[in-house]
Structures are given as C-alpha cells and as structure tokens.
Amino acid sequence: MLGLYLGAFLGMLSETSMNIALPSLMDAFGVGAGTVQWLVVGYMLVIGVVLPFVGLLLKWFRAKTLLVVALGAFLVGSLMSGLAPTFAMLLAGRMIQGVSTGLVLPMMFSVLLEVFPKSKIGTAMGITTLIIMFAPAVGPTLSGFFIGAFSWRWIFYFFAVVAAVALLCTFAFMVNPYELTRPRIDAFSCLTSVVGFGGLVLGVSLVGEFGLSAAVVAILVVGAVAVALYGRRQLRMDVPVVNLRAFAIPQFTTGAVVVMMNFGITLCAMYLMPQEIQDGMGIPAAMAGLVMLPGGVVNAVVSLLSGRLYDVIGPKILVRSGLVISVVGLALLMAAGTTSSVAYIIAAHVVLMIGVPLTMSPAQSTALAALPPQLSTDGSTILNTMQQVWGAIATAVATVLLGAGQSSAVRAGAGHAQAFVTGSRFGFAFAVALAVIGFVAALRITSLSGLIRAEKVPDVDVSDLGAVAAGRPEVARERKA
C-alpha cells in the first residue's frame, strides 16, 4: 500500500499546492485569474474524466502495472511543469499529473477494501482520509515554503522526487489483489463519460470569464445530456464500466452526497484562503503557508480520530457534528477583514479543519460499508469521481463568486485588498450553502449504517441490493426461494 499511499498523497497535495502560487504564476506568465485557474480546475477536470474508467482498467491490467504507469506519468508531468518556459507547457504538465491522480485515487480505495478485514475498515478509512484530507490542507504550506525559499518551480521538483520514491516502493512491495476478467470495452460509455463530465466542468469554469453566453450554455447542456446518456447506458449494460446500481442503496447515496458536499467545502476554502491571506491581508506567500500549517496538523489528528470513533460509535453523531463545526469555521472566515490578525485566521482555519475531517471519514465509511462486496470497487470509483468532478465545479463556482464580489466592491469604491476580501466572502458563503446541504443529507444517516458490512453479505441479484443495504439479507434470500 505504500506506493499507493504516496501516490494518493502526491495527487491530493498537488490539488491545493497551486492555490498559494497563483499570484506568482500570474506575474511570471502574464496571465489573468480566469486563465491561471485552469491549473487548479483543469487538473481536477482530468481527474474526473479518468476516474470512471479505473474499475474497468483494473479488470484488464494488473494493479501494479497501472500504478507504475500512473506514478511514471506524475513524474513526467512534474518535470514538464517545473521546467516549463510557457504557461501552455505548465498546464500540459498539470493535465498529465491529473491523469495520474485519476488512476491512483480509486485504486487506493479499492485495494484497501480487499486487503483490510471488514472489522478494521473504519480505522483503515481513517488512515486513507488522513491522506485525502491532510495533503490538501498542507499543500499551501509546502508551496509557500518553496516559493519563499526558492521559486514556484521547486514545488514540481519536490513532486518529482516523491513520485520517484513511490515508484521504487511500488516495484518492491505492490501486489495484485484482483482477477483479470477483461470485459468488453464499450466505446459509447467512454465517449459520453468524457464529454459529459468534461463538459460540465468546462462549462462552469467558463462562466467566470464569458458569463452565460450561448456557447457556455451549449457546453453545459451537451455535458448534462452526455452524463444522462452515460448513466442510462450503464444501467442497461450487463457489465457496465461503473455499476450505478450502487445508488439504489440509500445509505450509499446519502454518504456519497455528504462526501461530495464536504469535499466541495474543503476545496473552496483551500482555494480562497491562501489568496485572501496574500492579496487581502498583504501577507507574503511563505508566511501565508505557515498560517495554513496549524489547521493542516489539526486536520491530520482529527482524520485519524474520526476513523477510530466511527468503529466505536458509528457515523451519525460524527457526521452531523462535523458539518456544524465546519459552518462555524466558515462563518469565522467570512467575518475576516483586511485588518484581521494572523491569530484570528489561524483559529478560524483550525475550527474548519476540525469539522471537515470529522465528517469525511465516517461519511466515506458509511457509503462504502453499505455496499455488498461485488459493488465495492464501483462504489469507490463513484465516490472519487463525484468528489473530483464536484470539487472542480465548486472551485470554478468559488472563482466566479470571487470575481463577482471583487467587481461589486470595486464599483462601490473599495481598494484592491478590500475588494478581494469581499469577493472571498461570496465564495465562503457558497461553502456554507454546501455545508447546509450536507447536513440535511446527513439526517438520513442511521447510527447502525457503519456496522452493515461487518457481517457477511450474501450474493444477491441487483434487485435485492436494497434489502441487503437495509441490513435485511434474509429478505433477499426469501425472494430467491
């Protein structure tokens, strides 16, 4: 698992490491905010496009082979970006990194469910969540250090070194836990997946620069139609690329919605905070990274604790409490101004970093534990795809709201710093809305949902999955009799 863990850590670290570097990159390449955001949104777009195919790829290729290819791609992409003389080359390197992360993330969850005993899934998921949540939290800190001590290019050189270490670990320790069945590849599913998920993210990202123009609306409509066609196709296939019948299980669907909203909160905050600290409060990049560090440490501790608490008390209390705490943290960030102290920003960030991981691990465990074994890989792919696609959309929406708030403040006569703070408040308000949606969904989580998979789940037809998810496999057996 070490190679997988390092690869996933790199991928998630890379997801937020650019945020604190965006002002420097705009100056270095002479591009605007609407263009430079593609280093963040484009990266997540590629992840979202690649993710749905991982379950199929694991049935065609050995897990070790896929991981070697993924880590090799990340190494190449990092070197391309680090040495990039133009913005186009930098963006191309980021896209290649996105392909790698899109392969690694669902592989980590799938392999975890195969190698850990069911009674330890909560703890194992806590470790995994530590990677998924801690890496984005410390990304700005590491980036701030490299920018302050060297330059933004050293962020990518660091990535390359860690990718090389991960490759060595993979060659030495990785095993293949899956049987290769090599099912038929459905070209229509591949096409609609790429056009659908890519179109939705692209359309939302372009709103900030072009508004709801005819072209942007057309892209959004094409993306939505393609996603609908993709879903319909999967439900009609005997061997789908991703088995969407997992959504027939209420606890999986509920957990997935909570995970999606919670991840959107994280990425909105990690996108807005580093820039607000620099442009709104005048704090240098290196210092801004240090401001983000205490929250990252707290995130790591709470991630581990939430996994263990899940094994003991289940998800109900943890998920709801975490979302409430997140709202408090976001409210504190919304109240920040150009003259707010560093201590205040650190405290607000720490509160948010208590709430987010307290929700994430139990929600993920709830969703995956509700699935029978034959759907575990598909469930992992669905969760990761929803996270990345929604994360890209949420970041794009935050960018649009940031720009709208800035423009409104400038028209009212505000200076650059105050305008940036005002725009950030618009973005944080969106994150609060996500938390509210997540809390409403969390009301459907039952206290026993985390214990479902502790018992053996019998092989059942798809029509019986709802009975299994409800903890009543005997109903499924009666139907078969």
Taking the CA atoms of the chain, what radius of gyration do you get in angstroms?
Answer: 21
335: how many CB neighbours lie within 10 A of its CB? 12
- H-assigned helices in 339-470: 342-369, 376-411, 416-442, 465-469
DSSP character for 119? G
pLDDT digits (tens, 9 = 90+) for 265-293: 988 988 888 888 888 888 888 788 888 88
**How many alpha carbons lie under 13 Å from residue 151 in its C-beta half-sphere?**
8
Name the most confidently modeled range: 30-39, 65-74, 114-123, 234-243: 65-74
Whole-number pLDDT of residue 129:
67
User: Over the chain, what is the mean pLDDT?
Assistant: 82
Whole-number pLDDT of residue 240:
82
Whole-number pLDDT of residue 468:
34
Q: At what angle do helices 376-411 and 87-115 cross, to 10 degrees?
A: 140
Given a cut of 90, whether residue 258 has pLDDT beyond it is yes
Whole-number pLDDT of residue 476:
39
d(CA 38, CA 11): 16
Q: What angle do CA 258, 332, 256 make, to 5 degrees?
A: 5
Given a cut of 90, whether residue 225 has pLDDT beyond it is yes
pLDDT digits (tens, 9 = 90+) for 117-175: 666 666 676 677 677 767 777 788 888 889 888 889 999 999 999 999 998 988 877 66
Whole-number pLDDT of residue 450:
42
Q: What is the amino acid identity at position 72? A: G
In angstroms, the Cα distances linking 142 to 75, 145, 352, 388 are 18, 5, 20, 22
pLDDT digits (tens, 9 = 90+) for 20-29: 888 888 888 8
Mean pLDDT of 63-77: 90
**CB of 73 closer than 8 Å to CB of 258:** no
Instruction: Write down the pTM of the prediction.
Output: 0.77
Whole-number pLDDT of residue 122:
65
Q: Which residue has the higher pLDDT, 113 or 61?
A: 61
- DSSP letters of 371-393? S-GGGHHHHHHHHHHHHHHHHHH
